[in-house]
């Protein structure tokens, strides 16, 4: 079966005062229908820019190269008018903060039905009926009443459910969720993660979850791509990446997490900090912070290579290979 989305060698340059700077550098991955694909990384790793590139929503004067083939057509080469027909219709996005992604002054009904009427040509009452169903799907109590309300009348978790309902309105094939639970409490987060998991199963929806939280990844993602300095450090099945990581950066991220059983008094941070835009080191972008770096790491840019079934890592010395 062909992938729903196939990203090949995606590169994004952002315009800065000092000239164009690479924010994403030769990223490749694919996402199948009904799959939850996780993109993990710290801020500045290029994960959000990847999502924005797919939607044609990059900041002004940004440039892209490579391909992002969705249902047989390259999103990056598509004329703006055609991309508008895909965006919100076939590909939808949920962002981090539901208090900014929903319009504070518009009723939930307006926000839920607007693009159904635009994209699907539905009449007012038909769109309203669908809106009630959608709110029920995301488990908003009393959907009829909710349609008349405004975002401020809901809690953060309920607002994020509504934002997901808005994203689902035109029955997209792919949902981009950028830190969908970062602004929420863990108890509320649990509900949103279960919702994403259920939607994928019921609707065969593909979801790209972007988060720095490896716990969230572990809960919902089928496959995980770990990004560093705009590139893939490692990509593979969830369990492989989280229990048998092959890139020292992934190992470092896991070691920096509080141990699930508590106990050890200190956390193990990765020394140094992630590179700033335009200041990504030559060779392997992680080498200045890597405890396993060899001289080659400074000079040769590593490409992701297959290290296990479906598992690629961009670390030629493969110091963690023996641990598998």
Partner 1 sequence: MSALLEATGVAVEYHRRGAPALRAVDRADLTVARGEILGLVGESGCGKSTLGRAVVGLLPTAAGEIRFDGRPVVPLGLRRRAPGMRGLQMVFQDPYASLNPRRLVGDQVGDGYLLGGAARAEALRRAGELLERVGLPADAARRYPHEFSGGQRQRIAIARTLAAEPSCIVADEPISALDASAQASVANLLVELVRELDMGMVFISHDLSVVRQIADRTAVMYLGRVVEVGPTRQVWSAPAHPYTQALISAVPRADGAGVLPVELPGDVPDPARPPGGCRFHPRCPVARPECSRDDPPLVALRDGRSAACVLQTAGEAARPLAEPRPVAAE
Alpha helices per DSSP H over the chain: 47-55, 80-86, 98-101, 108-120, 124-137, 143-148, 156-168, 186-203, 214-220, 238-243, 248-256, 295-299
The DSSP secondary structure of 50-100, one letter per residue, reads HHHHHHT-PPTT-EEEEEEEETTEETTTS-HHHHHHHBTTTEEEE-S-HHH
Task: Rank residues 128 and 161 by Cβ distance to partner 1 and give the closer one.
Answer: 161
Say if residue 225 is exposed, middle or buried (CB neighbours under 10 Å; 0-12, 13-18, 19+): buried
Q: Which is nearer to partner 1, 108 or 253 (CB)?
A: 253
- Among 27, 92, 174, 219, the residue binding partner 1 under the rule CB under 8 A is 219
Binding track over 253-272 against partner 1, x by CB under 8 A: xx-xxxxx-x-xxxxxxx--
Binding mask 223-252 for partner 1 (x = CB under 8 A): ---------------xxxxxx--------x
Choose, by CB under 8 A, the member of 218, 281, 317, 319 that binds partner 1.
218
Calculate the dihedral angle through the C-alpha atoms of 181, 47, 266, 270, rounding to the nearest 10 degrees: 180
Comparing CB distances to partner 1, the nearer of 17 and 81 is 17
112 in Cβ contact with 165 (< 8 Å):
yes
Between residues 90 and 251, which has the closer beta carbon with respect to partner 1? Answer: 251
324 binds partner 1 (CB under 8 A): no
- Site residues for partner 1, window 51-110 (CB under 8 A)? none
CB 36 → partner 1: shortest distance, Å? 10
Which positions touch partner 1 (CB under 8 A)? 42-43, 155-158, 185-191, 193-195, 197-198, 201, 212-220, 238-243, 252-254, 256-260, 262, 264-270, 273-274
């Amino acid at each position: 079966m062909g992938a729903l989305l196939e990203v090949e060698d995606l590169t994004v340059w952002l315009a800065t005062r000092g000239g164009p700077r690479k924010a994403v550098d030769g990223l490749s991955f694919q996402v199948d229908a009904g799959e939850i694909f996780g993109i993990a990384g710290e801020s500045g790793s290029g994960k959000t820019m990847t999502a924005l590139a797919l939607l044609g929503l990059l900041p002004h004067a940004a440039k892209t190269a490579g391909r992002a083939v969705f249902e047989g057509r390259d999103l990056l080469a598509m004329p703006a008018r055609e991309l508008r027909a895909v965006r919100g219709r076939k590909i939808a996005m949920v962002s981090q903060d539901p208090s900014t992604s929903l319009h504070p002054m518009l009723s939930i009904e307006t926000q839920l039905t607007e693009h159904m009427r635009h994209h699907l040509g539905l009449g007012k009452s038909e769109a309203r009926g669908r809106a009630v169903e959608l709110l029920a799907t995301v488990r908003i109590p009393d959907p009829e009443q909710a349609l008349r309300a405004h975002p401020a009348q809901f809690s953060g978790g309920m607002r994020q459910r509504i934002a997901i309902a808005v994203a689902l309105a035109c029955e997209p094939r792919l949902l981009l969720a950028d830190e969908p639970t970062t602004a929420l409490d863990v108890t509320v987060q649990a509900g949103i993660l279960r919702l994403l998991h259920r939607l994928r199963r019921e609707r065969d929806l593909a979801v790209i979850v972007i988060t720095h939280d490896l716990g969230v990844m572990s809960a919902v993602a089928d496959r995980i791509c770990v990004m560093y300095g705009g590139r893939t450090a490692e990509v593979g099945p969830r369990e492989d990446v989280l229990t048998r990581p092959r890139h020292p950066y992934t190992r470092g991220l896991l070691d920096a997490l509080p141990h699930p059983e508590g106990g050890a008094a200190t956390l193990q941070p990765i020394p140094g900090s992630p590179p700033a835009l335009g200041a990504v080191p030559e060779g392997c972008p992680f080498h200045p912070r890597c405890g396993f770096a060899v001289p080659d790491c400074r000079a040769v840019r590593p490409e992701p290579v297959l290290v296990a079934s479906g598992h690629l890592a961009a670390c030629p010395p493969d110091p963690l290979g023996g641990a598998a």
